Amino acid sequence: MPSWSSSSSALTAPNLRLRTLRIWSSKDYAIAAFIFLILFSLLLFSHLDSRYDSQPHHSKLVPLTLLRNANQTRALCLDGSAPGYHFQSGFGSGSRNWLIHIEGGGWCNSIPSCYQRKFTHLGSSDHMEKLIPFSGILSSDPAQNPDFFNWNKVKIRYCDGASFAGHPESERGSGLFFRGQVIWEAIMDELLSTGLSNAKQALLSGCSAGGLATLIHCDSFRQVLPKEATVKCLADAGFFLDEKDISGNSTMRSFYHDVAQLQGLAKSLHKDCIAKMEPSKCLFPSEIAKNIKTPLFLVHPAYDFWQIRNILVPQGSDPDGHWQRCRLDIRSCNANMIDKLDSYRGSLLKAVNEFQQRKEIGMFIDSCFVHCQTEMEVTWHSPNSPKINDKTIAESVGDWYFDREAVKRIDCSSFSCNPTCHNMDFT
């Protein structure tokens, strides 16, 4: 028994060591294989990531670039900070084409309102988002932006409060910087030095107050680019009307008068217009467009909610609040209100009718309750986008820009007539 025991022990020890060796060996192999798999995956993903980085990022956030020579040029936001823009390089066939888009955001018409504004992103680059997505007309996704997806794209941030048309002589110790025109020229100079001067095709666009800025600067934009380049302009929701509000007051005319006086806009407006009428009237697009020589496209909703809420029914014009729900949701308007909205639509169509005979002017005027449609995928070009004659805004702008056809698309005649409309609801 003892000998068996010892003999058994002698035989078991090496067997045990061998079994232990085999167990650890298989673990090691498993660990080694696992580590190898991780390293291989990292290598593969880094390779794929580098390939992806060489292609446009459809969802990449675009960083803010502050104007390099702001202090030398004295091109400053309302608060004295450097103005900025977001830039995304073009690629492939679009590497020498440029799309410049001007941000909107209303205006300030007094020292107090401009002073308040300088503590926001509309008056200071200190308050601007450092990274923003590019969508709609700025998208790099061909499915979302079929004609301009691979162009160089710039979004100019708005921080002067006067559609890039103010002049420093108007500051008069206000503690504010009225440098809109200077900002415009300085940003153009910087972009020209980074490739815009070699543009083959270019489109200047803007939304709302940025749409007005587009109209103001359209011809000067054409002038700084090569003569052989194709250069056109697009104003989105920038065709503001000189109409009386529901109380019979010319609220918008009065407001524009204050903006023009405060920041000295006359020097940025067309001299032929200024010679005939006061500067504030020359700030209305119906007057500006008469003198624009560069091909122009108007994207505009017939029921522009900003104009309804600020020109037709501004604060103070409806003391009893009858229009409160209608201002928030057009589907809440009663028959009398709809009549007034339709009359406003009629004024818009009358104003743009003057340009119907000019073949270089295109338009897409839908019957939607919305404001600024080129920046959003859902309204610019998507399966759910507003359509006129089965064409989206993006398709219409592309047809016009590339001379595929003349585009004068005006929608049916009531707010509920177009089922493709993306009507806003603020309730």
In the block, which residue shows the tokens 């504010």? 176
Residues 279, 269 contacting (CB under 8 angstroms): yes
Residues 282, 270 contacting (CB under 8 angstroms): yes
Residues 219, 189 contacting (CB under 8 angstroms): no
In the set 217, 300, 371, 381, the catalytic residue is 371
Phi-psi region of 313 (alpha: psi -120 to 50; beta: other; left: phi over 0): beta
Annotation marks residue 371 as catalytic: yes
Reading the block at residue 388, the tokens are 């006129």
Annotation marks residue 270 as catalytic: no
Q: Which of 139, 154, 296 is nearest to 212 (CA)?
A: 296
Compute φ and ψ for 312, nearest 5 degrees.
-80, -45
Annotation marks residue 208 as catalytic: yes
Residues 310, 402 contacting (CB under 8 angstroms): no
What is the layout of strands, in order, in the sheet containing 152-156? 131-133, 61-66, 84-88, 152-156, 97-102, 201-207, 230-236, 296-301, 361-366, 408-410
Q: What letter does residue 240 receive in the DSSP assignment?
A: -
State how far the Cα of 244 lies from the Cα of 251, in Å rounded to an integer.
Answer: 7
Q: What secondary structure does DSSP assign to 37-89, as a single string?
A: HHHHHHHHHHHHHHHHHTS--TTPEEEEEE-TTHHHHT---TTSPPPEEEEE-
In the set 208, 280, 367, 385, the catalytic residue is 208
State how far the Cα of 67 lies from the Cα of 70, in Å rounded to an integer.
Answer: 6
SS3 content of the chain, % helix, strand, coil (to 5): 45, 15, 45
Residues 137, 148 contacting (CB under 8 angstroms): yes
Contacts of 104 (CB under 8 A, 6+ apart): 158, 206, 207, 208, 209, 210, 211, 237, 238, 372
Indicate the helix (H) or strand (E) that contains 258.
helix 251-263
In the set 79, 147, 236, 304, the catalytic residue is 304
Contacts of 175 (CB under 8 A, 6+ apart): 115
230-236/201-207 β-pairing: parallel
Residues 139, 377 contacting (CB under 8 angstroms): yes
User: Residue 413: how many CB atoms within 10 A of its CB?
Assistant: 12
What amino acid positions are annotated as catalytic residues? 208, 304, 371
